[in-house]
Amino acid sequence: MAKMNFGGVVENVVTREEFPLKKAQETLKNETIAIIGYGVQGPGQALNLKENGFKVIVGQRKDSKTWDKAVADGWVPGETLFEIEEACEKATIIQYLLSDAGQIILWPTIKKYLTPGKALYFSHGFAITYSERTGIIPPDDVDVILVAPKGSGTSLRRLFLEGRGLNSSYAIYRDATGKAFDRVVALGVGIGSGYLFETTFKKEVYSDLTGERGTLMGAIQGIFAAQYETLRANGHTPSEAFNETVEELTQSLMPLVAENGMDWMYANCSTTAQRGALDWWKKFRDATKPVFESLYDEVQKGNEAQISIDSNSKPDYRVKLEAELKEMRDSEMWQTGEVVRGLRPERAKK
C-alpha cells in the first residue's frame, strides 16, 4: 500500500506497481471466484478476471435471457456457468453482483453457502450499510470485502480491452481469515482497476448515492433544465438554448476539464467567459449547497436507500421507470438534443 498526497490530504492507495498482476494471481491461485449475476458489472468483472488468468465461474438463473448472454460470452454450462446455488457451493469467493434488489431477495439462499473461510464480495456498500433494511447480515467467519469500480461495468470492460483501467475503491468490513486485504486488492487488480483507493462500506455508499443524485446525474439534469427554461422564457430558440446549455458542455468543455482540470478549461476560453464564470460559480455553489446538505442527510438516515428498495422491488418497476424516462426523452430540451446530435458533422448525412 502506498501513501499518496491528494491536494494536501494523504490517503492509502494501491497501484499495480505495489501489487502487480503476478502477485494477484499468486494470492488467488487456490481460489474459485464465482460471479453471481451477469447484468452490468457481472460480465465486465468476470471476463476481465478470466482473461487476467484467474479461476472464474459464473452463477446465473437459467430461465433468463441473461443466461444466454453468458453463453454467448463464452461461459460453458456445467463447466464455467452454473445455476446460482451450484456456483456458490463451488466458490471460495462469492462476488455478489445481482441488482441491489435481487441481492435482498436471494440472500436467504446465498447465506447457506457462506461456510467458514470463504469471502463475500460486493461492488457497493449498500447491502451491508443498510443491513437493517436489506436483512443482509453475513456470518462472522467469512471475509466481507468490497471493490467498487467508479463507473459502469461496460466502461470497466471497454477500458480493459483498450489496455487502460477504471479506478475503484476497496473496503474491508470483516477480516475473518487474516487474508482479507490481500484478497480484496488481488480482486481489484484482477478486475482491471487502474488504482484502488481505500474506503469503508459506509463511506462508499454515502458518497455513491450522493454523487448519483447530485452532480453526476440528478443535479446536472436539474441545472440544465433551469437554464434551458430561463433561456426559452426569454425568447431564445430551442437550438440556441440547447447549444448554450448542453451541447457545448459535452462536446467542447468537459473533455478539456477531463484532460487538465477546470482552471485549464477556463484558461482556454474567452476573457469574457472567464470573467463571468469566475464571478458566478460561487453563487451557484451557495445556492445549491443547502440542497446537497439535505441530500446527504437523507442518504445518511437511510431514507434514500428505503425509497430505492421500495420502488425497485415493485413488480411494475420497469414499466414505471420507462414512463419516467420517456417523459424526459419527450421534453423539448432532449427532443432538441436528438436533432442537434443528428446535425453533428460526423453524423449528418453527406
Ligand X SMILES: NC(=O)c1ccc[n+]([C@@H]2O[C@H](COP(=O)([O-])OP(=O)(O)OC[C@H]3O[C@@H](n4cnc5c(N)ncnc54)[C@H](OP(=O)(O)O)[C@@H]3O)[C@@H](O)[C@H]2O)c1
Residue 111 near ligand X by CB under 6 A:
no
By beta-carbon proximity to ligand X, the closer residue of 38 and 113 is 38
Sign of CA pseudo-dihedral 274, 280, 285, 291: negative
Angle (CA) 284 287 293, round 5°: 115
Residue of 16, 61, 90, 158 interacting with ligand X (CB under 6 A): 61
Q: Tell me the C-alpha distance between 315 and 195, whole Å.
A: 39
Residue 128 near ligand X by CB under 6 A:
no
Largest distance between two CA atoms of the chain: 68
Residue 64 near ligand X by CB under 6 A:
yes
Nearest C-alpha neighbor of 144 from the set 166, 168, 117: 117
Residue 125 near ligand X by CB under 6 A:
no
Nearest-approach distance from CB 1 to ligand X, in angstroms:
23
Nearest-approach distance from CB 69 to ligand X, in angstroms:
8
Residue of 33, 56, 87, 106 interacting with ligand X (CB under 6 A): 106
Binding flags for ligand X, 140-179, as an x/- string (CB under 6 A): --------xx--xx--------------------------
By beta-carbon proximity to ligand X, the closer residue of 19 and 122 is 122
Nearest-approach distance from CB 100 to ligand X, in angstroms:
5
Residue 60 near ligand X by CB under 6 A:
yes
Q: How far apart are the first and last CA of the chain?
A: 54
Residue 97 near ligand X by CB under 6 A:
yes
Angle (CA) 205 294 332, round 5°: 90
Question: Which residues neighbour 224 within 8 Å (Cβ) at sequence distance 6 or greater?
Answer: 245, 246, 333
Q: Indicate the residue whose CB is closest to ligand X.
A: 39
Q: With CB under 6 A as the rule, give the number of residues binding ligand X.
A: 23
Residue 34 near ligand X by CB under 6 A:
no
Contact 82, 58 (CB under 8 A): yes
By beta-carbon proximity to ligand X, the closer residue of 149 and 188 is 149
By beta-carbon proximity to ligand X, the closer residue of 88 and 189 is 88
Supply 289's cell numbers: 449547497
Supply 62's cell numbers: 437459467
Residue of 41, 129, 169, 193 interacting with ligand X (CB under 6 A): 41
HSE-CB at 83 with a 13 A cutoff on CA atoms is 6
Residue span binding ligand X (CB under 6 A) among the ranges 33-41, 175-183, 184-192, 250-258:
33-41
CA distances (Å), origin 82, targets 156, 190, 196 = 24, 21, 30
Residue 31 near ligand X by CB under 6 A:
no
Residue of 52, 66, 80, 300 interacting with ligand X (CB under 6 A): 66
The DSSP result for 91-155, as a single string, is -SEEEE-S-HHHHHHHHHHHHTT--TT-EEEESSSHHHHTHHHH-----TTSEEEEEEESS-HHH
The pair phi, psi for residue 281, each rounded to 5°, is -65, -35
Nearest C-alpha neighbor of 74 from the set 58, 93, 54: 58
Residue 124 near ligand X by CB under 6 A:
yes
DSSP-based three-state secondary structure for 91:
coil
Contact 54, 47 (CB under 8 A): no
Nearest-approach distance from CB 102 to ligand X, in angstroms:
3
Residue of 105, 220, 328, 343 interacting with ligand X (CB under 6 A): 105
For the chain, how many residues are written?
350
Active site positions, annotated = 124
By beta-carbon proximity to ligand X, the closer residue of 58 and 333 is 58
Residue ranges in contact with ligand X by CB under 6 A? 37-42, 60-61, 64, 66, 97-100, 102, 105-106, 123-124, 148-149, 152-153
